[in-house]
């Protein structure tokens, strides 16, 4: 029997007892009229009197409190079941507006009527993330930086001021404390199977959210504050997410078959997988991803615990220990400092995909943003869901017995497997730098098309010098290129015009196409990347400023609205553009050659490393000054020439001393 079939629960015995049994031990029938007035107002004191505290330190006694609140949750659940949708809307909908997504709470009411286990779990996951976001907005009425972790948010003084400490303690029974039911975490991290989540806890959180709305309204009336909601995060650059082709019905049917036979799927979790695929087919993309991400985490946890021979880490940990989550599973080393074996099993492309979608700061960080309520669920993009489902299908396929499905069926998902096998990171700083360099080059390539005043106009202006200096600078650029020629790919050099044959987009594309390892980049590499990216960003800004200024000044020149001094300045600018283009292109080439060899920085001793970093920072300083001098406010074109001269002398000197990484490589 496969390991994935022998696992019946991912909840450790104490956690299983707390969630599935503890709140059912008291059989009292609780009268709801004690906590709910005829007008639908929640008597919080009647709820908080079910809290018990430890004698030793007056912290909440979670065991006794859950036991006592069990019957209350049951009667709330029965109360909701006794209401029609219309009655529920009339009595409660007003109290959900503070959450900024009242429709979601009305949806959860519908779910409770039918109690399909996967729907209850999905409802709870959505409810807790939306509630967390709304509580963060309330926190910001008083506090400055909203805590990232729900646990810290619920324990904050700021929320206790608005809602009262006892009310926050009730919430912490259900979510946010590892000592309580901790429903949000065990669901979002994929520890609970559908049948292990009692519907009555979902009903209770729905009820409590309405009660919080009533308390908040009283607070806002009293303090004259206005609650404002932070805007949702939107995914930008969706074109970069299109790694896998669009999923068709054939692929999705194949996935449904794979789910049943893949060792990546725990049998107890099968309903979640099927519900996720159904949600995708029904265009409910947020629901699909919310259901699927915890299942990816469980599947990877099974792999992680088997490959690293630590089966005990498959279960939820006790409050004193950490869960095994994506963070631990994607790390280079285990907590005992031994090498994590999971990356070797998954292989680099799959690891890069996971890092891209979950961890990299500039990536979509889908799980974080969904679970903390930062994304509008209504407008969740199909593109993102498509990528995650496609990736999940490739894992199902990789961890299935090859005999299970016929060759013809495998051909259906072969395109997905091909994409998965050659995936490269899109959101690691290395990948972002490649993108920056190519975008900057595209911008500089627009310069030759910029409008320029006719030659005869220029000759009428006296006292304009500087062409000789520009030529000198261009000659220095050619010299530096000659020095570095052996560090460049072959076949990219023509002796008669070094600048235009080497400082080209074609060469940069060729260099950026080289595979550079991104997994677990050492700290020195990341430090160098930060500086290189800043240099690239400054170059791009200079280019954009030159384009804007040239177009504006040309228009003013032709309309004869430039004063004499401005005309001189405009011509100096046109003269500067002649040398600025090769200089910026040279810097982009240097950045790219250094990037291709960036891992060699680890071979430098500390003193050489500091010298190298100092050189890069001096190039950064030059580009920052360039941004200032070429800005419309400053317009200091003569100073730009002087500045560039000094920078090129420094680059030439460093090149002579063979300090650069590209020189180490040769």
Provide the 3-class DSSP secondary structure of residue 53. Answer: strand
Mean per-residue pLDDT for 418-431?
Answer: 94
| Domain span holding position 109 | 3-223
Mean per-residue pLDDT for 65-92?
Answer: 96
Mean per-residue pLDDT for 204-231?
Answer: 97
pLDDT of res. 638: 86
- Do 297 and 354 contact (CB within 8 A), yes or no? no
Do 311 and 344 fall within a single domain?
yes
Which pTM value belongs to this model? 0.92
DSSP string computed for 303-360 = HHHHHTT-GGGGSPPPTTS----HHHHTSSB-TTSPBPSHHHHH-HHHHHHHIIIII-
Q: 449 falls in which pLDDT band (50, 70, 90)? A: very high
pLDDT of res. 215: 98
* CA dist list (Å): 496 to 460, 470, 493, 629: 33, 19, 9, 32
Q: 317 falls in which pLDDT band (50, 70, 90)? A: confident
Q: What is the pLDDT of residues 494-553, one digit of tens each?
A: 556 777 778 889 889 999 999 999 999 999 999 999 999 999 999 999 999 999 999 999
Asked whether residue 656 carries a pLDDT value surpassing 80, the answer given is yes
> Helix 429-444 vs helix 564-596: angle between axes, to the nearest 10 degrees?
140
Q: Which long-range contacts (CB under 8 A, 24 or more apart) does 251-256 make?
A: 251/390, 251/393, 251/412, 251/413, 251/416, 252/277, 252/280, 252/281, 252/389, 254/393, 254/405, 254/409, 254/412, 254/413, 255/389, 255/392, 255/393, 255/396, 255/413
Mean per-residue pLDDT for 561-589?
Answer: 90
Q: For residues 39, 120, 369 and 171, what is the CA-based torsion angle, rounded to 10 degrees?
A: 50
Residue 109 dihedral angles phi and psi, to the nearest 5°:
-60, -45
Residue 231 lies in a domain: no
How many structural domains is the chain composed of? 3
Residue 308's Cα: distance from chain center in Å?
27
Residue 643 lies in a domain: yes
* CA dist list (Å): 473 to 211, 450, 645: 72, 22, 6
How high does pLDDT run on average in the chain? 92
Do 199 and 243 fall within a single domain?
no
Do 448 and 396 fall within a single domain?
no
Do 306 and 207 fall within a single domain?
no
Q: What is the pLDDT of residues 400-416, one digit of tens each?
A: 876 656 666 778 999 99
Q: 468 falls in which pLDDT band (50, 70, 90)? A: confident
Do 105 and 124 fall within a single domain?
yes
- Do 350 and 300 contact (CB within 8 A), yes or no? no
Residue 22 lies in a domain: yes
Residue 228 lies in a domain: no
Domain end among 370, 394, 421: 421
Residue 14 lies in a domain: yes
CA–CA distance, 146 with 415 (Å, rounded to integer): 43
Q: What is the pLDDT of residues 17-53, one digit of tens each?
A: 999 999 999 988 888 898 998 888 999 999 999 999 9
Mean per-residue pLDDT for 381-395?
Answer: 96
DSSP string computed for 3-46 = HHHH---SS-HHHHHHHHTGGGS--PPP-GGGTB-TTS-B-HHH
pLDDT of res. 501: 75
pLDDT of res. 485: 82
Q: Which long-range contacts (CB under 8 A, 24 or more apart) does 275-281 make?
A: 275/118, 275/119, 275/122, 276/389, 277/252, 277/389, 280/247, 280/252, 280/385, 280/389, 281/249, 281/252
- Do 594 and 532 contact (CB within 8 A), yes or no? yes
Mean per-residue pLDDT for 620-626?
Answer: 98
pLDDT of res. 7: 86
Q: What is the pLDDT of residues 579-602, one digit of tens each?
A: 999 999 999 999 999 999 999 999
Q: 477 falls in which pLDDT band (50, 70, 90)? A: very high
Q: 470 falls in which pLDDT band (50, 70, 90)? A: confident
Asked whether residue 223 carries a pLDDT value surpassing 90, the answer given is yes
Asked whether residue 557 carries a pLDDT value surpassing 60, the answer given is yes
Q: 463 falls in which pLDDT band (50, 70, 90)? A: very low
Domain end among 421, 452, 484: 421
**CB burial readout 330-347, b (16+ within 10 A) else e:** beeebeeeeebebbebbe
Do 413 and 327 fall within a single domain?
yes
Q: 609 falls in which pLDDT band (50, 70, 90)? A: very high
Residue 542 lies in a domain: yes
Do 410 and 434 fall within a single domain?
no
Provide the 3-class DSSP secondary structure of residue 50. Answer: coil
Domain end among 368, 388, 421: 421
Alpha helix locations (H) across 425-512?
429-444, 455-459, 467-483, 498-502, 505-512
pLDDT of res. 459: 56
CA–CA distance, 270 with 259 (Å, rounded to integer): 7
- Do 209 and 100 contact (CB within 8 A), yes or no? no
Do 57 and 85 fall within a single domain?
yes
Do 520 and 643 fall within a single domain?
yes
Residue 129 lies in a domain: yes
> Helix 505-512 vs helix 429-444: angle between axes, to the nearest 10 degrees?
170
Q: Which two tokens stand for residue 279?
A: 């949600």
Do 417 and 434 fall within a single domain?
no
- Do 135 and 215 contact (CB within 8 A), yes or no? no
Q: How many CB atoms lie within 10 A of CB 177?
A: 21
Asked whether residue 628 carries a pLDDT value surpassing 80, the answer given is yes
pLDDT of res. 457: 63
Residue 474 CB partners (closer than 8 Å, separation 6+): 499, 578, 579, 582
Do 415 and 437 fall within a single domain?
no
Residue 598 CB partners (closer than 8 Å, separation 6+): 430, 516, 525, 528, 529, 661
Q: 644 falls in which pLDDT band (50, 70, 90)? A: very high
Residue 347 lies in a domain: yes
- Do 327 and 360 contact (CB within 8 A), yes or no? no
Do 98 and 72 fall within a single domain?
yes
Asked whether residue 462 carries a pLDDT value surpassing 80, the answer given is no
For the ranges 209-213, 317-321, 369-373, 442-446, which has the lowest average pLDDT?
A: 317-321
Q: What is the pLDDT of residues 130-187, one digit of tens each?
A: 999 999 999 999 999 999 999 999 999 999 999 999 999 999 999 989 999 999 999 9
Provide the terminal-to-terminal Cα distance of the chain, rounded to the nearest Å: 55
């Amino acid at each position: 029997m496969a390991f994935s079939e022998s696992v019946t629960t991912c909840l450790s015995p104490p956690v299983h007892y707390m969630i599935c049994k503890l709140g059912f031990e008291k059989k009292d029938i609780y009268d709801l009229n004690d906590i709910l007035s005829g007008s639908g107002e929640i008597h919080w004191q009647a709820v908080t009197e079910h809290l018990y505290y430890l004698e030793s330190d007056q912290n909440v006694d979670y065991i006794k409190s859950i036991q006592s609140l069990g019957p209350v949750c049951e009667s709330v659940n029965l109360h909701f079941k006794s209401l029609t949708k219309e009655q529920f809307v009339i009595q409660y909908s007003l109290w959900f507006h503070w959450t900024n997504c009242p429709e979601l709470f009305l949806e959860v009411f519908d779910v409770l009527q039918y109690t399909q286990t996967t729907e209850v779990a999905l409802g709870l996951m959505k409810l807790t993330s939306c509630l967390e976001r709304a509580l963060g907005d309330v926190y910001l009425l008083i506090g400055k930086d909203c805590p990232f972790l729900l646990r810290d948010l619920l324990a904050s003084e700021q929320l206790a001021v608005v809602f009262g400490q006892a009310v926050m303690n009730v919430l912490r029974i259900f979510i946010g404390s590892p000592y309580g039911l901790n429903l949000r975490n065990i669901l979002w991290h994929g520890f609970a199977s559908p049948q292990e989540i009692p519907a009555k806890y979902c009903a209770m959180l729905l009820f409590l959210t309405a009660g919080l709305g009533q308390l908040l309204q009283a607070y806002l009336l009293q303090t004259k504050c206005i609650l404002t909601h932070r805007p949702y995060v939107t995914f930008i650059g969706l074109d970069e997410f299109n790694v896998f082709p669009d999923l068709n019905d054939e692929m999705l049917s194949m996935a449904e078959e794979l789910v049943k036979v893949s060792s990546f799927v725990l049998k107890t979790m099968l309903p979640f997988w099927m519900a996720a695929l159904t949600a995708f087919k029904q265009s409910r993309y947020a629901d699909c991803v919310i259901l699927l991400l915890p299942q990816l985490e469980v599947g990877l946890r099974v792999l992680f615990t088997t490959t690293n021979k630590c089966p005990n880490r498959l279960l939820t940990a006790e409050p004193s220990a950490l869960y095994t989550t994506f963070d631990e599973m994607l790390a280079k080393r285990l907590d005992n400092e031994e090498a994590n074996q999971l990356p070797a099993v998954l292989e680099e492309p799959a690891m890069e995909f996971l890092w891209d979608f979950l961890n990299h700061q500039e990536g979509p960080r889908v799980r974080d943003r969904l679970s903390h309520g930062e994304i509008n669920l209504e407008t969740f993009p199909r593109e993102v869901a498509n990528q995650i489902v496609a990736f999940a299908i490739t894992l199902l396929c990789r961890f299935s017995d090859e005999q299970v499905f016929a060759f013809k069926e495998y051909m259906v998902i072969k395109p997905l497997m091909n994409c998965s096998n050659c995936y490269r990171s899109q959101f690691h700083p290395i990948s972002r730098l490649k993108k920056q360099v190519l975008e900057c080059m595209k911008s500089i390539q627009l310069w030759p098309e910029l409008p320029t005043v006719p030659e005869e106009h220029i000759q009428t202006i006296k006292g304009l010098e500087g062409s000789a200096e520009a030529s000198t600078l261009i000659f220095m650029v050619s010299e530096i290129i000659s020095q570095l020629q052996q560090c460049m790919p072959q076949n990219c050099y023509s002796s008669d015009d070094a600048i235009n044959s080497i400082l080209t987009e074609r060469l940069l594309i060729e260099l950026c196409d080289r595979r550079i390892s991104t997994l677990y980049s050492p700290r020195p590499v990341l430090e160098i990347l930060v500086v290189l990216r800043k240099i690239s960003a400054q170059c791009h800004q200079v280019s954009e400023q030159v384009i804007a200024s040239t177009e504006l000044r040309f228009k003013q020149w032709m309309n004869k609205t430039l004063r004499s001094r401005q005309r001189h300045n405009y011509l100096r600018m046109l003269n500067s553009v002649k040398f600025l283009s090769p200089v910026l292109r040279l810097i982009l080439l240097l950045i790219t050659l250094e990037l291709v060899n960036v891992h060699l920085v680890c071979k430098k001793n500390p003193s050489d490393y500091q010298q190298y970093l100092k050189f890069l920072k001096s190039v950064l300083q030059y580009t920052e000054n360039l941004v200032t001098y070429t800005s419309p406010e400053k317009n200091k074109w003569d100073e730009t020439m002087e500045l560039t001269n000094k920078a090129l002398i420094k680059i030439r000197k460093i090149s002579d001393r063979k300090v650069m990484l590209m020189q180490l490589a040769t």
